[in-house]
């Protein structure tokens, strides 16, 4: 089969060459022909056909991918980052001002009296007058005086912004030896800088207390005289537009009718010079602030003598009155020994020997004074109120002990 095909292809090529030679001879000069050239070309053609793959009945599908022409690369601009504005820094101890102002003593005003070893909590109210915020990195620091067994330093527990009001509290203990004690404190910044009160912040805030011996038992024995207040036989029952004394269910009731004054009624007992007097008072249903009550002693006349009493908010005072002049021996002073408020029982005691006067509250010695204006006289009871028109106090018992000079 292949031989017949080969002979047919040779015959076709020879006929083609012959026809081409006839056409070319009439158009151009005949070139010098190589007698082997035609055979050589025909042989190459036949060889190509013989080596080509035999077609199959199934078509061959060629998929041509159409690619875009290559583009000239362009350099993309580098992204320039957007800079965020710098945050505004809050004031720090290095670039702000630390100042403070004291507003009031919430607890333990100056010269409050405590027993030796008595524990108390001192609380100051202050305002942040500077531009720094006081954070928990700030602390209260003891600077001088007596530390009163307080923890030092005491870290703040919350942040206090400028112009805000804060309360600082420190637990303290009164020393074991009687005397006057002062403890000075300041604030300390995170950087260790101390500051306090004053225009430049160089003054401390403080607590000042008085420590005095106490005695629940003066070893006086039984009283020389005692009145359980069952009757009015030993008292002038005061009755004025401002005050009323009555006997009410085994107690003497002192009642304020018109506030704004302080009045007393004397006992019918004879004058005494050296003695210890003790009176038991029970406050009524309304007892607030400077409502007050107490005793008058060594009164040579009804409008003279020493006046000693308590207030409903826990203060005591002693003054001399000569019917015209008020002379304080101790202005109102807070004492933790006095029970405050309504429906409270307080036992008042006053000890007088020659020119020495000692004041007691519920068995605790509060203070001692020396004064010789009044040496002898009667005693009595008093009540007063600044603005409370519903203030009453009941006297449950009064007793006296005569003392040797």
The predicted structure's pLDDT at residue 103: 87
> Strands 305-311, 315-321: parallel, antiparallel or unpaired by DSSP?
antiparallel
Q: What is the pLDDT of residues 194-206, one digit of tens each?
A: 999 999 999 999 9
Peptide bond into 153 cis (omega under 30): yes
pLDDT at 41 over 60: no
DSSP letter assigned to residue 331: E
Rounded Cα gap, residues 215 and 223, in angstroms = 17
As a whole number, mean pLDDT of residues 318-347 equals: 94
Q: Which residues of the chain form CATH 2.60.120.560?
A: 225-402
DSSP string spanning 113-131? EE-TT-EEEEEEEEEE-SS
Judge contact between 386 and 379, C-beta under 8 A.
no
Residue matched to tokens 């009296």: 113
Which pLDDT belongs to residue 54? 36
* Residue closest to 166 by CA, chosen among 93, 95, 101: 101
Which tokens belong to 396?
Answer: 């449950």
User: Does residue 74 carry a pLDDT above 60?
Assistant: no
Tell how strand 112-114 and strand 205-211 pair up.
Answer: parallel
Model pLDDT, residue 138: 97
pLDDT of residue 214: 65
Question: Is pLDDT of 45 > 70?
Answer: no
Confidence band of 301 (pLDDT split at 50, 70, 90): very high
What is the mean predicted confidence (pLDDT) over 332-349?
93
The CA-based angle 212-217-221, given to 5 degrees, is 140
Q: In the chain, pLDDT over 90 holds for what percent of residues?
A: 63
For residues 247 and 253, the answer to whether their CB atoms sit within 8 Å is yes
Residue 52 has pLDDT above 80, yes or no: no
Residues of the chain with CATH 2.60.40.10: 100-211
Tell me the average pLDDT across 269-293. 95
Of the candidate ranges 38-47, 238-247, 280-289, the one whose mean pLDDT is the lowest:
38-47
User: Does the structure show a pLDDT above 60 at 67?
Assistant: no
- Write the pLDDT tens digit of every residue in 220-267: 888 999 999 999 999 999 999 999 999 988 999 999 999 988 999 999
For residues 59-81, give the mean pLDDT: 34
Neighbours of 180 (CB within 10 A): 12
Mean pLDDT, residues 345-356: 95
- Residue 295 DSSP one-character state: E
Of 121-130, 205-214, 227-236, give the lowest mean pLDDT range: 205-214
**pLDDT top residue among 72 and 353:** 353
Reading phi first (left if > 0) and then psi (alpha if -120 to 50, else beta), residue 159 is in: beta
Mean pLDDT of 91-105: 80
141 has a pLDDT exceeding 70: yes
Mean pLDDT of the chain: 81
Burial class (CB in 10 A: 0-12, 13-18, 19+), 247: middle
- pLDDT of 149 reads 92
pLDDT in tens, 367-404: 999 999 999 999 999 999 988 988 999 999 999 999 98
Superfamily of domain 100-211: Immunoglobulins (2.60.40.10)
| 48 pLDDT more than 50 | no
CB 307 within 8 A of CB 348: no
Q: Could you tell me which residue, 239 or 94, shows the higher pLDDT?
A: 239
Measured over the CA atoms of residue 289, residue 368, residue 329 and residue 225, the dihedral's sign is positive
Report how far residue 265's alpha carbon sits from residue 380's, in angstroms, rounded to the nearest whole number.
Answer: 5
Tell if the pTM clears 0.85, that is, is over it: no
What is the tens place of the pLDDT at every residue in 167-188? Answer: 999 999 998 788 899 999 999 9
Of 345, 334, 336, nearest to 283 by C-alpha is: 345
Can you tell me the distance from the alpha carbon of 356 to that of 391, in angstroms, rounded to the nearest whole number? Answer: 33
Question: 25: alpha, beta or left, given left = phi > 0 and alpha = psi -120 to 50?
Answer: alpha
Q: What is the mean pLDDT of residues 120-147?
A: 95
pLDDT of residue 86: 44
Contact between residue 311 and residue 298 where contact means Cβ atoms under 8 Å apart: no
- For the cut 80, the answer to whether the pLDDT of residue 315 exceeds it is yes
CATH number of 225-402: 2.60.120.560
């Amino acid at each position: 089969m292949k031989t017949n095909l080969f002979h047919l292809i040779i015959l076709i090529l020879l006929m083609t060459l012959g026809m081409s030679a006839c056409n070319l001879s009439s158009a151009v000069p005949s070139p010098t022909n190589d007698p082997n050239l035609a055979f050589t070309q025909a042989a190459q053609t036949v060889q190509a056909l013989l080596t080509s793959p035999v077609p199959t009945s199934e078509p061959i599908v060629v998929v041509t991918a159409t690619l875009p022409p290559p583009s000239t690369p362009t350099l993309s601009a580098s992204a320039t980052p957007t800079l965020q504005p710098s945050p505004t820094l809050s004031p720090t101890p290095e670039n702000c001002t630390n100042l403070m102002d004291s507003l009031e003593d919430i607890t333990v005003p100056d010269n409050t009296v405590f027993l030796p070893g008595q524990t108390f909590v001192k609380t100051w109210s202050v305002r942040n007058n500077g531009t720094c915020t006081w954070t928990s990195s700030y602390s209260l620091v003891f600077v001088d005086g007596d530390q009163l067994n307080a923890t030092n330093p005491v870290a703040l527990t919350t942040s206090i912004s400028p112009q805000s009001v804060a309360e600082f509290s420190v637990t303290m203990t009164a020393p074991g030896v009687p005397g006057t004690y002062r403890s000075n404190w300041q604030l300390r910044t995170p950087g260790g800088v101390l500051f306090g009160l004053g225009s430049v912040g160089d003054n401390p805030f403080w607590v000042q207390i008085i420590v005095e011996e106490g005695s629940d038992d003066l070893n006086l024995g039984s009283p020389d005289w005692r009145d359980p207040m069952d009757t009015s036989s030993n008292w002038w029952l005061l009755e004025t537009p401002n005050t009323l004394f009555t006997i009410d269910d085994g107690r003497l009731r002192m009642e304020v009718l018109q506030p704004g004054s302080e009045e007393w009624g004397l006992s019918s007992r004879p004058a005494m010079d050296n003695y210890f007097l003790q009176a038991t008072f029970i406050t009524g249903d309304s007892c607030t602030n400077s409502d007050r009550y107490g005793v008058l002693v060594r009164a040579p006349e009804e409008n003279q003598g020493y006046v000693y009493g308590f207030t409903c908010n826990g203060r005591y005072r002693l003054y001399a009155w000569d019917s015209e002049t008020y002379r304080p021996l101790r202005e109102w002073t807070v004492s933790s020994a006095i029970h405050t408020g309504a429906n409270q029982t307080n036992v008042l005691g006053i000890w007088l020997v020659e020119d020495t006067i000692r004041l007691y509250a519920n068995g605790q010695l509060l203070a001692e004074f020396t004064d010789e204006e009044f040496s002898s006289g009667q005693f009595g009871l008093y009540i007063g109120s600044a603005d409370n028109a519903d203030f009453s106090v009941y006297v449950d018992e009064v007793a006296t002990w005569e003392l040797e000079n």
